Structure 1
């Protein structure tokens, strides 16, 4: 049909502007962003604001990238050899550097590595490669809300499996098993965990693998915090324990190297039995959607991964560990709340006994008033699909963390109401809150 004829048809069908967003855009929701934007942040003008909410270790300026890391990027920029496009899956040299760096995950070759624009993109690609519209994936609760954001956008159902606070946030394996059906495409295992700071033992990881093998379920291992473990705790990569379960391990520079804004992540394919033959091809195709990650950072990877000193990593981890101990010691005896000491990552979950805070039937209201009275902002458990808890970040300067915990304790003491209970006739009878 002539172009002018097509134009006439369009004019007859459209009488006004009516531009709709796509279903993909409509279904994309980031719960953390929605909750944070929905919280009424009205700090106490007499107290400086202390945000314990942001999972960015660079926010306060006290944690900075190593000079070796910065120098590697500077040289990559100055030599002007990396200003153009690179291979969609990442350059051979960069992928080889990641494979060498990841020796602790077992045998890894450059062909097992796909470079991505940050770990969030690696999670996005892993979910997209494994799950189709109408299928489901299993994600932890409490858990990183981005898993849901990414899956639901693709029309993939999310099913939450429970983590058990009384068992240091281990997975409730019986409940997890009850969620599996023929449409379950994968299970996401986050270890070390955000928001809980838990690190699973080898024995627990083996039980997870046994369950995955029983139902022929691939695993997406979110191991971005794999090197953030505290003294006395060791992280074990799932891939080193798996004989038959194929695993996509997602990681990156973001946390350990203190450069989240550089957006350099990766997927490592662990597949001893060639189950992922088609998945590998799918990941390569998905990589072409973005034409690969930042070439400057790619070119810097060999030096960054090899030359950044262990003393830098140890200093960062020890700082966060000391902060974890400090926060736990300051909060553990505060009436009405219960901190759970983490073993890794950068966070601590704190439980709220809402029975002792009748003014606040939800942790959202608790958090809002904590900001209003004490100018301390913590993320409510709703952000992680886990009510009656809040999360604090442990990367802030020690003096600010100490002050924040003192303010939290003061807030709890000011609003705590004792729930008295007396034993009568062998039973437990509740008495009015006073």
Structure 2
């Protein structure tokens, strides 16, 4: 029986209407028709657990297993178990930045910590400055909460450093905060300490707090890149982190927000953070109970091994792609990603990076993530957590794809080059 057509549709809220996940929208609209004769290689998923080659250490598993025998079955304080908050505070305390459990707010993953921070500082008439390119979830959160945003640019020709002059030009009396990502998703960049201090100086000049997405803190291949909260003397910093990436358990959904506030400027904000944590009555208690042992027992050798594998993957991608005229890979400095510029003017029948991705999927069954969802056109993001054999096969197919399209461009160019000679 045919269902009657409803003439009086139930309306949705402003919140629902303005909640948009750019990655979901892109994937839903992307023409994904892989070549049936080739295995489908996904270089698009930022989940280290997908391929089974990046696994959490046994100390993490045993910590949760042991927590099952404790009485962590009921509600706890909405902003986190005291023992877990104490362990996080101790783990991130440095000689320059001393933390206590009162500085820690546990959330349902780093994404939730970011939501809490943005919701607490931003408002309908107070905008937040976001990096471009930047993690698309920032816009999802802002749109959902009705918070306006402005974008400051990162320089792809200088390891994705912040354009400080442009950043400063965006600041006015209605600016609520500057959000920074370090190390970066999607760029794979890691700011030098000097550049971090330069960003902090801009925030201090205008009396602004910083929201620091530091889910990849400690995941730097070389050099000394530290937390913004540790480096800041006068600027209050809300640092967002969690277990997802460094401990390779993104599905466990436990993150934290750390309030670095040496001069008490966040006194009112702290109350707001606590109330916002109460919206969902806290995060996963079982995993919270395991945090003290996770932070205390995982050996440094695990972190080192993870970074070694990620760096090797970055080196493979860079070495394989760097000599391709149609591509410009940018060597990452940390995190789990590499950005690659697509020189579409050197490719036949490809107008932009979206067409590049769609045709690459159709012809070669390779799926990189188009970077327009991060705010920058004609780039793609590749993940570094893919096994080496898949990485090399993907590179081989990408190079074959570019060579095939390049040949058409060269033939077209040669005809253009000789036409003036023929007319003369």
Superposition TM-score, scaled by structure 2 size:
0.94
- 1:233 pairs, out of 204, 216, 223, with 223
Do the aligned partners of residues 391 and 419 (structure 1) sit closer, same or farther apart at CA in structure 2, a change above 3 Å counting? farther
The equivalent of 1:217 in structure 2 is: 208
Residue 201 in 1 paired to residue 195 in 2?
Answer: no
Kindly report which structure 2 residues correspond to 1:21-60, keeping only aligned pairs within 5 A, or say none. Answer: 21-60=12-51
Q: Could you tell me which runs of 5 or more consecutive residues in structure 1 were left unpaired when the two chains were aligned.
A: 1-14, 423-429
Give the whole-Å Cα distance in 1 for the aligned partners of 2:135 and 2:21. 10
* TM superposition shift of 1:381: 1.3
2:79 aligned counterpart, secondary structure: coil
Of the candidates 307, 310, 316, which is equivalent to residue 320 of structure 1?
310
Which residue is equivalent to 1:258?
Answer: 248
CA shift for structure 1 position 293: 0.6
What is the CA distance between 1:234 and its match in structure 2?
2.3
Candidates 333, 341, 344, aligned match of 1:343: 333
Equivalenced residues, count: 410
Give yes or no for the alignment of 1:242 onto 2:232.
Answer: yes
1:107 to partner: Cα distance:
1.1
The counterpart of 2:357, out of the listed 367, 382, 387, is 367
Residue in structure 2 matching 1:75, options 56, 63, 66: 66
Is 1:159 equivalent to 2:172 in the alignment? Answer: no
Tell me if structure 2 keeps the 8 A contact 1:65–1:258.
yes
For the 8 Å contact 2:326–2:346, the answer to whether it is kept is yes
Q: 1:431 deviation in Å?
A: 5.4
CA distance in structure 1 between the partners assigned to 2:31 and 2:116 by the alignment: 35
- Cross-structure match for 2:140: 149
Once the two structures are superposed, residues 245-291 of structure 1 have per-residue CA deviations (whole angstroms, 9 ceiling, x without a partner) of 10000000000101000001000000111110000000000011010
Aligned mates of 1:86, 1:121 — CA distance in 2: 17
Aligned to 1:268: 258
SS in 2 for 1:161: strand
Secondary structure of the residue that 2:68 maps to in structure 1? helix
Greater mean alpha carbon deviation, residues 240-249 or residues 325-334: 240-249
- 2 CA distance for matches of 1:163 and 1:43? 33
Name the counterpart of 1:425. none
Q: Provide the rounded CA distance (Å) in 2 between the counterparts of 1:43 and 1:169.
A: 32
Deviation at 1:354, TM superposition (A): 1.3
Give the aligned partner of residue 390 of structure 2: 400
Deviation (angstroms), 1:168: 0.6
What's the CA shift for 1:236?
1.4
Alignment root-mean-square deviation, CA: 1.8
Once superposed, which parts of structure 1, at least 4 consecutive aligned residues long, lie more than 3 Å away? 15-18, 418-422, 430-433
